[in-house]
Structure 1
Amino acid sequence: MERSSVAPDVRVSALLALLTCVVFANALPNGFVWDDASLIVDNSAIKRVGNIPTLFSPSWFRDDVVKPAYRPLAYISFAVDYGFWGLRATGYHATNLLLHVGSVLALYGFLRGVLECRAAAVLGALVFAVCPLRVEAVTYVKSRDEMLACVLLLAGLLLFQRFHRVKEQGGGTSAWPSFGLSMAAFALLPFAKEHGLVFPALLTAWV
């Protein structure tokens, strides 16, 4: 992006974030539902910070403990939420919403890098922000794994895009922090949700 376009992009990003929050604000007063009970309310492992290392143990992801899917980042985020909010569901819903806002902004930044038309990038991010298909993931606390994987994937792509652009412009070593952060996002993705494993394929297709 040209330097002259930064200010408009900041304003657009702020408006996208505001609109996303307004659309999903009605989820904040909601309580826990369905699988939230077993994964959060009745889950003693997330209620002590000292248990966080246990959440990386594959043996913890058994049918008699939680659903057998290795997604420790989601449970660590629940533990952090519990530290701040206890069992007040509003805080957990707010975390999901903030993760969605982060995904929307990362997508907008990525689209600005591949589309010449700002309006097209805004439209793409806007559709993603308010798409009904995103409602369950944003408003269902249990879907934290989906929210984490989404923001890591989009942020990783955005960072890799910046690395590629700065490198092409002769930025030298200044490009490598973006590359390192992109790889960090990739490394964390499988711990959020399995579909994060597609990230290497996306980067391969890119280059």
Structure 2
Amino acid sequence: MAITLSKGQKVDLTKTNPGLVRGVIGLGWDTNKYSGGQGFDLDASAFLVDASNRCQNDHDFIFYNNLEHPSGALVHTGDNRTGEGDGDDEQVVVDFSKIPAYVDRIGITVTIHDADARSQNFGQVSNAFVRLKDEATGEELIRFDLGEDFSIETAVVFCELYKHGNDWKFNAIGSGFSGGLGALCRNYGLEV
């Protein structure tokens, strides 16, 4: 049975699940009926950062145009441009055995593509969630439902995986940003 988290809660991931090698991070959402006449395209991204909360290079930013980290530690399974249907809208697979030693945290984010041009924001998004399941067993281990706390934000850090000694933990963040993907990239030390 999955552990359901609230915003700000942290939980052991690899210590509590010692057999966990590969996890599937599933992200999902629905869009409210009013869209301003434009379709929504939400995009999941991952930022592998060092102890100073910075990506060391562009390869540490995993998104629809860079689907796999050179180490094989993270693989984005592809862009879902509509978000229609039940279940995960986008997924990122993490292999804990391949995460480079310099990586201290992995930020898992979602942005709205062309949000400003389309006059869209996370106030128009509902039922957003992130979950982590064991790839080997398919068992959902952790789930965080974000709630409806957003209004003008165009990017959200859903969660972070972070290193604690030799183990990895999960932190339910749920923090919004204005400025979309560019703001997130700058936050994690990348030039846009």
Q: TM-score, normalised by structure 1?
A: 0.26
Q: TM-score, normalised by structure 2?
A: 0.27
Higher relative contact order (CA 8 A, sep 6+): 2
Q: As a proportion of its length, which structure holds more strand? A: 2
Larger Rg: 1
